[in-house]
Structure 1
Amino acid sequence: MKKLDMNASKEQSFCYLSEDYKQIYLPLTYSIIFVLALPLNGTVLWFSWHHTKRWSCATIYLVNLMVADLLYVLTLPFLIITYSLDDRWPFGELLCRLVRFLFYTNLYGSILLLTCISVHRFLGVCHPLRSLPYRTRQHALMGSATTWALVILQLLPTLAFSHTDYVNGQMICYDMTSPRNFDQYFAYGMVLTMSGFVFPSVVILVCYSLMVRSLIKSETLERTGSTARAKSIRTILLVCSLFTLCYVPFHIARSFYLIIRFLPSQNCQLLIVASMAYKIWRPLVSMSSCLNPVLYFLSGGNNRIRLFQELRHNKVGKHPAGAEGKMPRGGQIWVLSR
């Protein structure tokens, strides 16, 4: 049983809540995400680095997305160990702050990069000629750099709010902040939700609404072709699925939990429900780290074809000449599907 502070800054009133489920649920879900996301994102980065001669704008955004996923996935072993030890944090203050920071960096960095991808696709479908000067690799690199800068600036306060503390004789790492700082964190958390989730979601929704309206027109099909139209439809469906499965439920549960904790109401049962909903959805939002690589391969048919060729090549092992990757004469190198 754990003592849950309802509103320590106003009144000392506590709920007692059993969180035994966390010792099984959180290590299990984080382990599944780690096992799936690490090879998927690693494969995308390796494939992009070795088998893509010139990165397109979409590839630049998606590779940055994979980097954000990997930075977070590499912190999962710390969380798996911690929740297996009943919330005991044995890794010190610095790693506590870093792990919490990287979780939100991955979350809001992914949302903003998906927004960039959506705007890029919108311009290509709805304004293909007028937007040509803006749909360049240089602008994609600038957009990615701006995204990282905005995310880091937004999340610097998490490095101050998150910290370790001793509760019931054991060190813990606060996911949000300690009870005494919760009022300040509530204001910051709601602003972060608006700027990092609500505003980008509105931008994506507007872009996709205009894209769908444009794609159903016959003249658009003639201009863009069936292949480009299919790619745009896949992007819309995949990004909407990511938001529906991962980001929207998490932010609803998190906002509900923050509001219930902030209100002076002493409804203990409601607070327990809000706490459980948030802690159940917290690892599920990280499933986006497993789905983002799927977006990379399904957003372009060539990516899938080249990957399958490479896997087939590796499965064969050696070429008939006897030396892997080499031609028998002239020292030339035979690189498959570059």
Structure 2
Amino acid sequence: MTTFENTTTNNYNYGHNASYCKFREEFKYILLPVSYALVFVVGLALNSTALFVIVFRTKRWKPSTIYMFNLTMCDTLYIFTLPFLVYYYADENDWPFSEALCKLIRFLFYANLYGSILFLCCISLHRFIGICYPMRSLNWVSARRAKLVSVAVWAIVLFCQAPILYFSRIRDQKTERVCYDTTSPELFDDFLVYSSIVSVLMFALPFMVVMVCYGLMVRKLLEPGWGSEGGPDGERGGLSAQRTKQKSVKMIIIVLGTFMLCFLPFHLTRSLYYSFRYLRQINPAQISCTLLEASSVAYKVTRPLASANSCLDPILYFLAGQDARSNLTKKGRASSSKTTSVSRRLTTKL
């Protein structure tokens, strides 16, 4: 069966049978470079700030801090690959670099995508245990266990995304060199099976876990007597139940927003496009070129949204994390106090 690839070629697909479709996709040569450049600038600034605060301004690393550090590292590694993609798509799919770099960049995209999903799931589970089982969380949740869970998450991500290093490859097509964002046409059927399994295990299941956790958290937070006998694990004695509720609500909004805006549209449109493409290969009369092109356009439009999670993740740390704001405030106060002290000494000497 002859397959075809339209996501990385300029206005046409390869194939010489009835499944051949001609696409016009010049829009992506503007959309993708501009969006990736914006994600690079904004994401680099936010993640660098988050890493600085976590590494240099956080004295006590709680489990949530450990998960946020790993999430930020995951985003930062991906952000450094974006300049290569900006150049590639601005040059209309002409890859000037090596095949090894093509494999690495595609690998880091999916590693960031699913690493972010799993670490957000860990953060959600951590907050869920603290809210719904505050006393038991004293034994269940610890920094040591958070480190072990983080190592396990990285191992799962690296293992599950390792096949990307095999599927991703480059190929010379006329006057350009393509760096496939999926795989070469002859391997697409195998890639479809692999991609479907990964989507279920590393997106659908974590998404369901997050939704269930947040549903139970909201129900718990709405109970009239919640917080009267002590807040959840990780909260200091001086924090009120109201502040804990606000912090939890902010986290719920940001994480659900990230899933709904970045992850869900990408996986839905990608699944539709892959399915339509596969069905057309089997029976061209079943899927029209118009429908296939529409699904391809939708998939490409949501790809920048998937990358935008690198900008939203640090916002989770700064808005939902009281410690982060406290560390930044302390830094500002310390600088102000130091300046005032120096000024007073100078005034005295003068």
Q: Which residue of 2 aligns with 1:138?
A: 144
What is the correspondence of 1:266-285 to structure 2 with a 5 Å cutoff? 266=284, 267-285=288-306
Correspondence for 2:271:
255
| Alignment partner of 1:290 is 2:311 | yes
The amino acid that maps onto 2:145 is: H
Deviation at 1:220, TM superposition (A): 1.6
Q: Distance in 2 between matches of 1:20 and 1:312?
A: 51
1:81 and 2:98 matched:
no
Q: Is the 8 A contact 2:58 2:327 kept in 1?
A: no
Displaced runs of 4 or more, over 3 A: 311-314, 320-323
Tell me the SS of whatever aligns to 1:54: coil
Amino acid in structure 2 at the alignment position of 1:68:
C
Q: Does 1:229 align with 2:235?
A: no
- C-alpha distance in 2, partners of 1:297/1:35? 18
Task: Confirm or deny: 8 A CA contact 1:214 1:220 kept in the other structure.
Answer: yes
Query: Which stretch shows the higher mean deviation, 72-81 or 291-300?
Result: 291-300
Change in 2 beyond 3 A, CA 1:13/1:148: same
Pairing partner for 2:77 from 66, 71, 82: 71
The answer to whether the 8 A contact 1:221-1:229 is kept is: no
Displacement of 1:167 in angstroms is 1.3
Query: Partner residue of 2:193?
Result: 187
Shift of 1:318: 6.6
Q: Which amino acid aligns with 2:306?
A: V
Q: Tell me which residue corresponds to 1:178.
A: 184
Find the residue that maps to 2:227 and give its secondary structure: helix
Q: Which residue number in structure 1 is paired with residue 13 of structure 2?
A: 4
Displacement after TM superposition at 1:320 (Å): 4.1
- The separation in 2 between residues aligned to 1:106 and 1:313, in whole angstroms, is 35
Given the superposition, is the C-alpha separation of residues 11 and 133 from structure 1 closer, same or farther in structure 2, using an over 3 Å criterion?
A: farther
The corresponding residue for 1:310 is: 331
Using the aligned pairs only, state the percent identity: 41
Q: Please, which runs of 5 or more residues in structure 2 have no aligned partner?
A: 1-9, 232-240
Deviates more, 1:278-287 or 1:305-314: 305-314
Counterpart for residue 121 of structure 1: 127
Q: Which letter maps to 1:230?
A: Q
* The one of 85, 96, 104 aligned to 1:90: 96
Letter matched to residue 144 of structure 2: Q
Q: Residue 22 of structure 2 aligns to a residue in which SS?
A: strand
Shift of 1:308: 4.1
Tell me the alpha carbon deviations over residues 207-262 of structure 1, each in whole angstroms, 9 at most, x when there is no partner.
11111111111122323311222211111111111111111111101101110111
Deviation at 1:322, TM superposition (A): 4.6
Q: 2-side partners of 1:254 and 1:311: how far apart?
A: 45
Q: Which amino acid aligns with 1:319?
A: T
Q: Root-mean-square deviation (CA), in Å? A: 2.0
2:256 alignment partner in structure 1: 240
Asked if 1 retains the 8 angstrom alpha-carbon contact of 2:47 and 2:72, the reply is yes
For 1:19 and 1:206, the matched residues in 2 are separated by 39
Asked if structure 2 preserves the Cα contact closer than 8 Å seen for 1:242 and 1:288, the reply is yes
